[in-house]
Amino acid sequence: MTQGAVGSDAHTKGASAMSATAENTFDIVILGGGSGGYACALRAAELGLSVALVEKGKLGGTCLHLGCIPTKALLHAAEVADTAREGEQFGVKTTFESVDMSGVNAYKDGVVGRLYKGLQGLVKSKSIEYVEGEGRLVAKNTVEVAGRQLVGKNVVLATGSYAKSLPGLDIGGRIMTSEQALFLDYVPSRVVVLGGGVIGVEFASVFKSFGSEVTIVEALPRLVAAEDEAISKQLERSFRKRKINFKTGVKFSGATQTGDGVQVSLESGETIEADLLLVAVGRGPVTAGLGYEEAGVTVDRGFVLANERCQTNVEGIYAVGDIVPGLQLAHRGFAQGIFVAEHIAGLNPPVIDEMGIPRVTYCEPEIASIGYTEAQAKEKFGEIETYDYNLGGNGKSQILGTAGFVKLVRQKDGPVVGVHMIGSRMGEQVGEAQLIYNWEALPSDVAQLIHAHPTQNEALGEAHLALAGKPLHAHA
Ligand SMILES: Cc1cc2nc3c(=O)[nH]c(=O)nc-3n(C[C@H](O)[C@H](O)[C@H](O)COP(=O)(O)OP(=O)(O)OC[C@H]3O[C@@H](n4cnc5c(N)ncnc54)[C@H](O)[C@@H]3O)c2cc1C
């Protein structure tokens, strides 16, 4: 479909559309060029739809510039620091000298810069109208950017999320969120991380490896509370071993900045002195003041409500990514963006199973999971079976010197409905785990597949062998 061809058809409803010209009229107008928005634009263009993609900041959004990519570069630098420290353990004489943040940042920014260039090239190479500037929904089918009205037969809201704080806790100076922490030009001696969720534990892991003394403060009873309880326990064990301090079930009550530090107070009456307080208490949706509610879109506590087809309550308006309640993950945004493009193109794509979205936390040790935790599975399916395969029996994990496990949850006599893994590098195993969950595999289906030796991937195979009743290198 060409832009001109659609310019004359049905999407001429609403006052704003009256002024629409062919060059301002599209099959899809997308507000926000992050993971959800740009994936939708690329797929729609591939399918021959005319697309306008509106972005006020940098194409690629949070994931590329302030999220997934820069944090994983820091985590890799952290791993290199640990490797330098631990050489002796493998008979290699290395010493750890220091972390040069200008070098770390140059490396991290180089990675981001190359990917950014590539993404810009990709968008340019497709027939996508890329519109720079802050957009606002001014009618059901119209986004306005700097006085230009872009009319869409369909509109996709993809404005993403921002780092939240707590009431009375102002961000500034030594109190920062991940957005500022990504650009630190020094390694702080003492850090308090407020929040023991994914972003909190990843930063705690980086700071510790870089040489900071770290304390995590988490109000919930355990770190990474969304994960299976056994995973939290193992992470806490590993963090204790790494001398990462954490306080769970403790509420923050305030923070005061002093000349050279910050004093963090807890409801227990305890205070912690630090150079820096990292606030990692979750991310809120970027939806305020963008005209969504005025256009009739239902918004709940700032989040845009959408059904399993990413449709809002207003016909022709879709929402994808972090503004939609659910997992705030880049690959969920990609999948939803692609889904919407295919849905609009009439391909009738299968709906996305939120439980079938893989989840990885990239701290050391890494956590990877998919599907239901043991507790969720019990509630949903009633009778279940679980099996924990200890990485102690896995050759490659022994070679790497990592501890952890693969935990499987299955419906009694039924398919595997949850895979939970922890250990160095275990994030890479989530690929097979997601096939197992999404293809509703029985343990015996996986047990007959051959897993290469010696890999950490074997641990997944061994866990399924054991659950299928034919354990190999398993003690229990
Ligand atoms: C520190 C950190 C680490 C993370 N690590 C991971 C990870 O390892 N793996 C993972 O899967 N996810 C990770 N995430 C989450 C991931 O970044 C998000 O889930 C993902 O970016 C969401 O995509 P999105 O398109 O919904 O929003 P965003 O990426 O936030 O994009 C929204 C875009 O909309 C633009 N925008 C907003 N309002 C307007 C407007 N009015 N006009 C024009 N443009 C507008 C913004 O500038 C932005 O570019 C991480 C996030 C953070 C903060």
Determine the Cα–Cα distance for residues 324 and 455; give it in Å rounded to an integer.
37
Give the closest residue (by CA) to ligand 1 atom 27.
160
DSSP 143-159: EEETTEEEEEEEEEE--
Query: Domain check: are 14 and 139 in the same one?
Result: yes
Q: Which of 355, 384, 405 finishes a domain? A: 355
pLDDT of residue 12: 36
Give the closest residue (by CA) to ligand 1 atom 6.
68
Query: Domain check: are 232 and 315 in the same one?
Result: no
Query: Domain check: are 232 and 343 in the same one?
Result: no
* CB of residue 55 inside a 6 A radius of ligand 1: yes
The reply to whether 169 falls in a domain is no
Q: What angle do CA 128, 123, 108 make, to 5 degrees?
A: 150
Query: Domain check: are 152 and 252 in the same one?
Result: no
Asked whether residue 17 carries a pLDDT value surpassing 80, the answer given is no
pLDDT of residue 390: 97
- Residue 21: pLDDT band (50, 70, 90) is confident
Beta carbons of 426 and 369 less than 8 angstroms apart: no
Residue of 68, 162, 430 with the most ligand 1 atoms within 8 Å of its CB, for mutation: 68
Give the closest residue (by CA) to ligand 1 atom 49.
61
Q: Which of 328, 355, 382 finishes a domain? A: 355
Query: Domain check: are 204 and 335 in the same one?
Result: no
Query: Domain check: are 109 and 193 in the same one?
Result: no
Query: Domain check: are 290 and 372 in the same one?
Result: no
Residue of 35, 112, 304 with the most ligand 1 atoms within 8 Å of its CB, for mutation: 35
* CB of residue 61 inside a 6 A radius of ligand 1: yes
Beta carbons of 351 and 427 less than 8 angstroms apart: no
- Distance from Cα 101 to the centre of ligand 1, integer Å: 25
- Distance from Cα 474 to the centre of ligand 1, integer Å: 42
pLDDT of residue 20: 61
* CB of residue 443 inside a 6 A radius of ligand 1: no
Q: What angle do CA 360, 365, 371 make, to 5 degrees?
A: 30
Give the closest residue (by CA) to ligand 1 atom 13.
68
Query: Domain check: are 17 and 147 in the same one?
Result: yes
* CB of residue 36 inside a 6 A radius of ligand 1: yes
Q: How far is CA 126 from CA 32, 38, 121, 131, 253, in A?
A: 17, 11, 9, 14, 51
- Residue 426: pLDDT band (50, 70, 90) is very high
- Distance from Cα 209 to the centre of ligand 1, integer Å: 26
CATH code of the domain in which 129 resides = 3.50.50.60
Asked whether residue 463 carries a pLDDT value surpassing 80, the answer given is yes
- Residue 14: pLDDT band (50, 70, 90) is very low
* CB of residue 144 inside a 6 A radius of ligand 1: no
Query: Domain check: are 116 and 48 in the same one?
Result: yes
- Distance from Cα 286 to the centre of ligand 1, integer Å: 10
* CB of residue 137 inside a 6 A radius of ligand 1: no
Query: Domain check: are 333 and 446 in the same one?
Result: no
Distance in angstroms between the alpha carbons of the first and the last residue of the chain: 60
User: In Å, how far from its chain's centre is CA 81?
Assistant: 24
The reply to whether 229 falls in a domain is yes
User: In Å, how far from its chain's centre is CA 451?
Assistant: 28
- Distance from Cα 339 to the centre of ligand 1, integer Å: 18
Q: Which of 239, 261, 281 finishes a domain? A: 281
pLDDT of residue 474: 84
- Report the domain count for the chain: 3
Element holding 370 (H helix, E strand): strand 366-371
Q: List phi, psi (to 5°) of 264.
A: -105, 125
Element holding 113 (H helix, E strand): helix 101-125
The reply to whether 264 falls in a domain is yes
CATH code of the domain in which 399 resides = 3.30.390.30
Beta carbons of 290 and 137 less than 8 angstroms apart: yes
The reply to whether 85 falls in a domain is no
Q: What is the pLDDT of residues 33-48, one digit of tens each?
A: 999 999 999 999 999 9
For the chain, what is the mean pLDDT?
95
Residue of 62, 354, 363 with the most ligand 1 atoms within 8 Å of its CB, for mutation: 62
The reply to whether 402 falls in a domain is yes
The reply to whether 150 falls in a domain is yes
Determine the Cα–Cα distance for residues 338 and 475; give it in Å rounded to an integer.
44
Residue listed under structure tokens 């820096």: 276
Give the closest residue (by CA) to ligand 1 atom 47.
57
* CB of residue 278 inside a 6 A radius of ligand 1: no
Asked whether residue 291 carries a pLDDT value surpassing 50, the answer given is yes
Determine the Cα–Cα distance for residues 319 and 161; give it in Å rounded to an integer.
13
Instruction: Confirm whether 453 is a catalytic residue.
Output: yes
The reply to whether 87 falls in a domain is no
Selecting among 453, 464, 473, 475, the annotated active-site residue is 453
* CB of residue 195 inside a 6 A radius of ligand 1: no
Give mean pLDDT, residues 253-258.
95
Q: What is the pLDDT of residues 83-113, one digit of tens each?
A: 999 999 999 999 999 999 999 999 999 999 9
Q: What angle do CA 159, 47, 318 make, to 5 degrees?
A: 30
Give CA torsion, residues 136, 141, 142, 143, to 10 deg: 40
* CB of residue 321 inside a 6 A radius of ligand 1: yes
- Distance from Cα 38 to the centre of ligand 1, integer Å: 11
Most confident of 3-7, 17-21, 255-259: 255-259
pLDDT of residue 259: 86
Give the closest residue (by CA) to ligand 1 atom 5.
68
Tell the burial category of 21 from Cβ atoms under 10 Å away from its Cβ (0-12, 13-18, 19+).
exposed
Element holding 217 (H helix, E strand): strand 213-218
Query: Domain check: are 14 and 40 in the same one?
Result: yes
Give the closest residue (by CA) to ligand 1 atom 7.
68
Contact residues for 259 (Cβ-Cβ < 8 A; gap 6+) = none
Q: What angle do CA 264, 270, 276 make, to 5 degrees?
A: 20
The domain of 342 spans 3-65+104-163+285-355
Query: Domain check: are 229 and 346 in the same one?
Result: no
Query: Residues of the chain with pLDDT > 90: what percent?
Result: 93
Helix, strand, coil share of the chain (percent; to 5): 35, 25, 40
Residue listed under structure tokens 């970027």: 286
Q: What is the pLDDT of residues 107-134, one digit of tens each?
A: 999 999 999 999 999 999 998 999 999 9
Asked whether residue 10 carries a pLDDT value surpassing 60, the answer given is no
The reply to whether 149 falls in a domain is yes
Asked whether residue 16 carries a pLDDT value surpassing 70, the answer given is no
